[in-house]
Structure formats: C-alpha cells, structure tokens
Structure 1
Amino acid sequence: MFPINRFIRSFFKFLAAIVSVFLPISAFASPPIGVLDDTHAAIRAVMAVQGEVTPDLMRQPEILGTAVGVDAAGTPVLTVYVDRDAANAGEVIRSLPRDVRGAGVQVHLTDKFRAMAKPPWAGGGGHSVSHTAKQTPPIQLGTSGGWSKDLANGYCCGGTLGSLVKIGSTQYILSNYHVFESDIVSGGNNTVATTGDPIIQPGLIDVNCNKNNAQTVGTLVKKSSLPNSNVDCSIAQISSGMVRTDGAILEIGTISSSTVSAAINQAVKKSGRTTGLSHSAVSGLNATVSVTYDAVSF
C-alpha cells in the first residue's frame, strides 16, 4: 500500500511544479487591450491631447479635422485629416509633429468631407430596394425625404429620413439640419423653415421638384442645431399612420432601442437615400471635421 503521507508530499511537490510552470506565464502575459471606446484609458488620454491641439490645427485650411484612431499596431493615436487636393499638402504633413505629449500623430489624406458624397441626381440606383421611391404608408426610414419647401430658382433638394426617435411619449423622424431646416434666410423661395412645416417622402429632388407627387409624413420641429451646437440634426413629429412606429429602416429592419458606445473597428451599416445600404467599420472616435455644404462650411 502507498503510504498516505508520502502521497501527500508527492502531490504537493507535483502541484508546486505545476504552479512554477504557470506563474511565469501569467505574470508576463499581456492583458487584453479591451474595447477601444471612449471609456478606455488610452483613448481618453489621446482625446485630452486632441481637445488641446485641434483648434490650432484646424486654423490651417489644409487640415480638415482630427479624430482618435489607432496605428498599425493597434495603439490609440491622434489622426489628422489633411486635404489631399491641397497644393501644399506635403508641406503641411511634414510640419506636423510625430507625437504630442506622448500621443502618436498619424496623417490621413482624404477628400473634403461633404454633406452629400455623390451628386444629388445620382441617388438610389443600383440597389435591390429603392431608397428614393414613394412608399405605401406607414413608411420605413432610410429613405428619401425632406422639407416640402426646399426649392428655389429652379432647383430643389432632399436627403434621408434617418431613424425614429422618441422624446417623452412622442415619436419623431431624425434627419439632418441641412435636410429639414437650413433655409434660414428668405431668398429665392421667399420663405424660411418654420416649426409645423410639412416633411415629405420622397424628397422634392426625387419627385421632379413637385411636392404634390410626394406625401406628408411629419411636421418640422425646429431645433436650430447649427451652427451653434456643431451637430447637424433635426427632427419632425410623425404624422399619424404615416411612419412605422417600430422604426423599421429599409434593408436593416427594426433596430434596438438601446444604444451602445462607438468603438474602434466596430462594424456599422447605414441605410440612406443616396447610398442605399452600405457597410463599414469605425476608424476614428470623437471626430471634429469641417463639412462642406456646397459653398458653405460648418
């Protein structure tokens, strides 16, 4: 029979050997970096630097904005967006520091950021689901729409009715300021956007500038988000029976009512009037960029 005391001594020697093997592994293994969102310490450190340097950087017209991104090794860095069409882009890039207070700096050459990436007449084509056609109510969002009076001097506009939001017990369509209410000066159409104005689907641009070929799906609630708050958004209270109350979006469906923080490399998709359904991933957080609206920038 194997003596119990000898067994115990042998067992603890064996256990000690196992522990001596695994302790160095656990002691020197790098912990997982975690989700790179705006709560991550490394992201917040770069955000602090970004907040200090961005105003001065963007005084240079060649610099279109900044964000918190990651380098090839996955380390959070300050991303600086430089206009690829600027005549002296190379000079601007060479003048940028390699790091600021320990935060690395990387340059991203890019086209100008525009409110519409394609000409307004190039929307909705090439997709299995039309994002510009007039829908049978209640409509899904991610579709063409806009302010019913958005025309002047032979031109008309439109954009995307983005998503459904609820404030208190009231449901609203969320879109852009430049789609719903940017007409703040009485010009060629002799009117300005006002609370209560009809919001239509499709937008005028997709019904030959004739609002009678569209349908009213909501009424504008003017918030004047630009230029003071630097957020391009606007809302319209939905008209009864005209918008799906579950907030369904074309080619996406009903989305969760719970929101999550954006994170680096997070998969995202968008349903819009001009692009249809598109997919991408988050490459930068806390971005501050100059957006061109025809002849005006915000």
Structure 2
Amino acid sequence: MNIKGFFWLLFWVSLVNGQSFYEKSPHIIELTPKTFRKVIHETNYTTLVEFYAPWCGHCQQLKGIMERVARNLDGIVQVASVNCDLAKNKQLCAQHRIQGFPTLMVFRPPKVDLNKAPEDAIRLGNHASEIYKGERKLRAIADFSVSRVKNYVRRISKVNTLIDILQKEQSRYSAVLFAKKDKISPLFKSLALDWLGTIDFYTIPISKLDAKAQVSSTNASNITSFVQKFSELEHKEDKSVLVLFDNKEDRYYIFEDKLLNKLDIAMFLSQFAEPTEGPLTKRQEFIDSLKQSKKSSKKRSTGRNSKIEHDEL
C-alpha cells in the first residue's frame, strides 16, 4: 500500500469510528448514558440491545439483520443499540461487562402486580438482562426476543368460563380476542402491555367455542348474548374478531378493521381508556424522537403515522 492509500485508510477508519450505525434507522434507538435508564428500565417492554463498535466487521455484517429485526418487532419489542466506541458510552459498556462485539443483550421487565392501582402499573425496577448466544439470523434473534415478552393476556378455553369472567370482572373494560389461532400473538401481548391496569385482555380460540353452551336466563345480558350468538355463527373461524366489552354499561364494541396494524387497534381501544405506553402516548413520542436522526431529511414520526403491519391476531 502506498502512502496515499495509507492515509485514505486512516481517514476512513476515523470517519467510521465517529459514526453510529443506526443514526438513520427509523426503528432502532441509539442509546447513551442519559437515555439508557428511561428507555430500558422505565417500561414494561422487553428490549433487545446491540452493543457494537463501528469498525467491527461482525457488527457491520449484523447491521442489516438488526434493522430487519427492529422493523419486524416494531411495537412489540424495543430494539436499541449502544456505540461502545464513543467516549461517552465507554463506561456504560463497561458496566454491562461488554468484552466483545457485537454483544446482543435482552432486558426483561419484572412482573407487574395487577392488583395495584393503574398509575403504579409501570414498574421502575431494573430489568433482568441476559446475553443472546444463538444464531445471528433474523428469525432466531426475533423469536428469542419475543419469547422474553411478558404476557398479561389470559387464555380461556370455554365459553361459559369467559361469560363467568365477564360477569364478575371488576375492571370496567375487557378486550376479548376470538382468535383463529390457539397461540397468543406477540401483537396482542404488546397491546396488553400498553393498557396494563386499565383494560383486561383475554383470548379464546374460536375452535374452542361450543355452540351448545347454554347461558342461564338469570345471567342473561347483552354481553352474554353476544358471546352466545357468536359461538353459533357459521364460518366464524374465517378470521379473528376483537371485541371490547364495557362491563359497567353492559355493552360491547367490535373492531371492524383487519387485525394487522397496531396503531389502528390502539386508536380503537383509546376511545375507552388511555394507554400507559405504545402509540398515542408521550412516552412513544420520546422513543420516536430517539429513533430519528437530527440529520435525517425524513419527517419525524410521532407513532401516529406508523403503519407497520404484523401477522394478524
């Protein structure tokens, strides 16, 4: 290599070292010591964090995968990064005992006591952390992260059990997903996180609905009548149906759109109760501000314009 080439190499290395990989990635949060605690620990969301150095070849290879992981998990798992090559971040990386790059770490929130008042639903205790040691592939990383999401959706297997719960429910609102899948979707789990303490979430597989289930006349109500009629419908297994039950007023409201976009569902639920996290909240505006580069020419997102679609509930 000649002298000119050597100096060009030094220039390129210095340029890379001064940059953060994800400055312009709309779904990845670039963390610093000032933002780390608020993003990671002051939430009920699970967070996947990549500790990296821009000069690291393996980090450069992982960059595209992480961006796709972040897009796929948007609204379900927070995806963030820490540039350990920046002087301001070195102590943060040392505190988490980062010894090689890239290091992927998942932070899991503590379980919330739903018997507490809604304003106490957000726990401020430190999240547990674990290092991801699996394959550095999109599906493997995403599946591992989703498996660490806390579940506050109660799965019901019988119509009469659901009716009994709704009749005895102390909370005013209950969101019930009549699901075509037996497995609780990550999207529905994330909605339960957003309304933790204000709306109770349930799911009952449509395949488990029994058209022969009888409701006693003494327990009859608009809510029980709907559940009974729905269980008797033909072709009810064609798609999932989300219903918001107002237990106080004995009324129900059906979400009419496709169950793919979290923002659309959030706007429906927010008509009845305010979310504590997720779209339409001040916290989401704060998170979105961290995702957007000040140098980016793209319009900042507030969470209200997000149209990321997930697998249907």
- TM-score computed with the length of structure 1 as normaliser: 0.27
| Larger Rg computed on CA atoms | 1
Which has the larger helix fraction?
2
- TM-score computed with the length of structure 2 as normaliser: 0.26
Which has the larger strand fraction?
1
